Amino acid sequence: MIIIFRLVKILRVFLRYRLDKLLPKQHLPLQVRILLLPCMLFPSPTLNRGERLRRTCEELGPIFVKFGQLLSTRPDLVPADIVTELNYLQDQVPPFAKEEFRSMVELALGDSIENIFSDYEVEPLASASVAQVHAATLKNGRKVVIKAIRPGIEKVIAQDVALLLKIAQLLERYSADGKRLRPVEIVKDYRTTIFDELDLQREAANASQLRRNFSNSSLLYVPEVFWDYTRNNIMVMERIYGIPVTDIEALKAQNTDMKKLAERGVEIFFTQVFEHNFFHADMHPGNIFVSREYPELPQYIAVDMAIIGSLTRADQYYLARNLLAMFRRDYRQVAELHIQSGWVPVHIRVEELEAAIRTVCEPIFEKPLKEISFGHVLLNLFRTAQRFEMEVQPQLVLLQKTLLNIEGLGRQLYPDLDLWNTAHPFLERWLKNRFHPKSLWGELKRYAPEWMEKFPQVPQLIFNGLQQLQNIGQLAPELHKTAQQLQKRSKLSNRRYWLAALIFGAALVSANPTACNFINNYWQTLNLSIPSLILGVLGLGILFFKK
């Protein structure tokens, strides 16, 4: 009954914002268009389609808000105007009961709030779609925040995801555009992401890894996780007091070097992607702060590490070379790298892919470098490659979205940011270091124990391989003979089928009076009869069979 009420509410909001207008009706089957006819009773929308979808997500609650945020991370599948609007979705959700939050913390940690903390703020510090945060102080005086998952949210998520999946299946089944946009894939991706976010132990592990990666760097600070007070549904972290990165006035008031701040954001991104291969993939402005210390050499502070991305070593290498080749306008190499990496099938003609990439990129690079959007160039490159059967690469889409966030933030902080000027030397240095003797020696030391473990087995493996080759050589004549026998049997079997068909056809003719009379009259002119026809067919079959 609860699911039915929920479905009714979803349909009501769907109709109010006329989301039927988003469906490509010319590609929908007749029965679906008939079902959508009642939508005509509602007034035509005055808002654009992106805003209507955003407001729908906001009205339907936190799960749909999160789903809208996920859609905004798929510019490879979702139109740009909708992505722009969905980027405005915020996690401003009414908090749940304070008493319930307290009891959750006490149950998870096995003690009372007073015994664990010396100070605890009853009013929430922040309330998001799946979690709520309160400030507190540990007994040792450390200022912390307590993050707890909303109670009962798993059941609500499961119900809403089931409904979203059903809608996606219908869209993919009855819409040509639905097949192209792969809505089922998006919903399944969302289901994985949202359930991962419910595991605060996982987020804490991500935060600890990210903190360790930047432990000796002044670029980024990650709050400390207090593992003694962290569970699957509860996490306690160090409290930070930075300036929200979007508070430009406060940043300028403390004389922050805005150019340096923007460039450091780009450097953090490339360091995470290429040096650490572990990048914060949810770096929207709400999760980024700036330290109040050293404004002339500003330091970022990151929170909410629920979504983390990484690339394979091959993807790292090909992505770096693609970016360098693209900005050198070496479109031939870009096309070759797409095929070499396996992103595009090998049967695609490299000349055609090269021409398509040139058509997309050449108008962009006619602009001054500071006006070029690095993220949008990458987006256009992937969209072009998809026309040549490039499969959607989830890890690259996540990276692309993060780059768009970082670039947009950097341009907001410093409009003249030249992303390429910052990225180019980094990529050149990374590729050079990748094949430096010191790096190769590091790889050798890393994998040497595994190689040494397997090395004693190598002679035996070589001997076994040679023995198998010899056995195959000895079996070759027998295999050839067997193949000839199988071919002969196949021909024999085919002839039997033809003989059976001829006999069956003759039997059908003889069993049909009309056919018998017609053929008998015709064959009488040739002084032949039905029995002779059947005997003739059988004779032909036997001759054919004996060949």
Convert 8-41 to b/e letters by CB count within 10 Å (16 or more is b): eebeebbeebbbbebbeeeebeeebeeeeeeeee
Q: How far apart are CA 350 and CA 387, in angstroms?
A: 13
Strand pairing class (300-302; 220-221):
parallel
Contact partners, residue 42, CB within 8 Å, separation at least 6: 15, 16, 18
Residues forming beta bridges with residue 243, ordered by sequence position: 290
Q: How far is CA 359 from CA 116, 327, 355, 384, in A?
A: 63, 14, 6, 10
Q: How far apart are CA 394 and CA 534, in angstroms?
A: 66
Phi, psi of 18 (to 5 degrees): 45, 50
Is the four-CA dihedral 541, 543, 546, 547 of positive or negative sign?
A: negative
Q: Which two tokens stand for residue 490?
A: 């196949």
Strand pairing class (131-138; 243-244):
unpaired
DSSP sequence for 297-341: S--EEE---S-EE---HHHHHHHHHHHHHHHTT-HHHHHHHHHHT
* Coil/strand/helix, residue 148: strand
| Residue with the two structure tokens 């994985």 | 192
Q: How far apart are CA 534 and CA 306, in angstroms?
A: 79
Q: Which two tokens stand for residue 399?
A: 């990276």
- Count Cβ atoms below 10 Å from residue 356 Cβ, excluding itself: 17
| Residue with the two structure tokens 């925040």 | 145
Choice among 189, 282, 315, 418 that is catalytic: 282
For 180-312, strand residue ranges (E) read 220-221, 234-238, 243-244, 279-280, 288-290, 300-302, 308-309
**Closest alpha carbon to 70 in 277, 271, 284, 268:** 284
Tell me the residue length of the chain: 547
CA triple 393-397-402, angle to 5 deg: 150
Q: Is 282 a catalytic residue?
A: yes
**Closest alpha carbon to 381 in 357, 408, 362, 355:** 357
Q: How far apart are CA 288 and CA 300, in angstroms?
A: 7
Convert 401-440 to b/e letters by CB count within 10 Å (16 or more is b): bbbbbbbebbbebbeebbbbebbbebbeebeeeeeeeeee
* Coil/strand/helix, residue 150: coil
Contact partners, residue 108, CB within 8 Å, separation at least 6: 148, 231, 233, 234
Q: How far apart are CA 326 and CA 407, in angstroms?
A: 18
Q: How far apart are CA 155 and CA 161, in angstroms?
A: 10
Q: Which residues are catalytic?
A: 282
